[in-house]
């Protein structure tokens, strides 16, 4: 009897642990390159990620590539950081994808879920040298690039 209870308790414990680490629902899908460049997404306002305050203070530039699945119901699932130069950029990029107004899109855009990637470049614009025209020293994969730009402001000490 005690042996049976012990086995049942172990089974319940293992089942509970397994449910805390769910598998990605759409792991079987391949990445569709340039998906977000398609005209069907033109109504989606893909605004850039906020430049993380911590990265500004540390004068960090970098990137993050986020992979995600868009469902026929315009839900975003299985958000994964593929590459990143800094945890601040990873978090900002993940957050902004969730904040794009997916629910405002027509429900008939997709018949099947699609997996895609977006790269977010975080850089400081310099005089006569916007980020989009500079080859960065960092590299994250994806041809779908959204730039989050910042400016370095020099502090002037009061006399």
Task: Determine the 3-state secondary structure of 40 from DSSP.
Answer: helix
How far does Cα 115 stand from its chain's mean position? 12
Answer whether residue 50 is part of any domain. yes
Answer whether residue 129 is part of any domain. yes
Answer whether residue 37 is part of any domain. yes
The set of residues, in sequence order, having a beta carbon less than 8 Å from that of 11 and lying 6+ positions away, is: none
pLDDT digits (tens, 9 = 90+) for 72-126: 999 999 999 999 999 999 999 999 999 999 999 998 899 999 999 999 999 998 8
The set of residues, in sequence order, having a beta carbon less than 8 Å from that of 80 and lying 6+ positions away, is: 24, 66, 67, 68
Structure tokens at 34: 């340039």
Residue 8 has pLDDT above 50, yes or no: no
pLDDT band for position 14 (cuts 50, 70, 90) = very low
pLDDT digits (tens, 9 = 90+) for 58-73: 999 999 999 999 999 9
pTM: 0.78
Q: Tell me the residue range of the domain where 47 lies.
A: 26-150
Answer whether residue 71 is part of any domain. yes
Task: Check residue 12 and give its pLDDT.
Answer: 44
CATH code for the domain of 53:
3.30.2420.10
Domain total for the chain?
1
Pairwise CA distance, residues 39 & 21, whole Å: 36
Which of 115, 121, 69 is closest to 93 using CA atoms? Answer: 121
Pairwise CA distance, residues 65 & 144, whole Å: 9
Answer whether residue 93 is part of any domain. yes
Question: Taking the CA of residue 95 as centre, how many other CA atoms within 13 Å lie in the half-sphere pointing to its CB?
Answer: 11
């Amino acid at each position: 009897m005690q042996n049976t209870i012990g086995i049942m308790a172990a089974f319940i414990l293992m089942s509970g642990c397994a449910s805390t680490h769910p598998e990605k629902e759409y792991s079987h899908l391949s990445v569709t390159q340039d998906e977000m460049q398609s005209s069907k997404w033109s109504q989606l306002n893909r605004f850039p990620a906020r430049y993380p305050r911590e990265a500004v203070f540390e004068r960090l530039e970098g990137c993050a590539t986020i992979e995600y699945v868009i469902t026929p119901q315009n839900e975003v699932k299985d958000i994964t950081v593929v590459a990143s130069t800094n945890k601040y950029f990873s978090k900002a990029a993940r957050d902004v994808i969730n904040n794009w107004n997916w629910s405002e899109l027509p429900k008939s855009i997709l018949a099947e879920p699609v997996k895609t990637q977006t790269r977010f470049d975080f850089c400081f614009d310099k005089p006569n040298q916007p980020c989009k025209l500079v080859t960065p020293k960092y590299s994250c994969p994806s041809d779908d690039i959204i730039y989050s730009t910042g400016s370095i402001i020099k502090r002037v000490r009061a006399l």
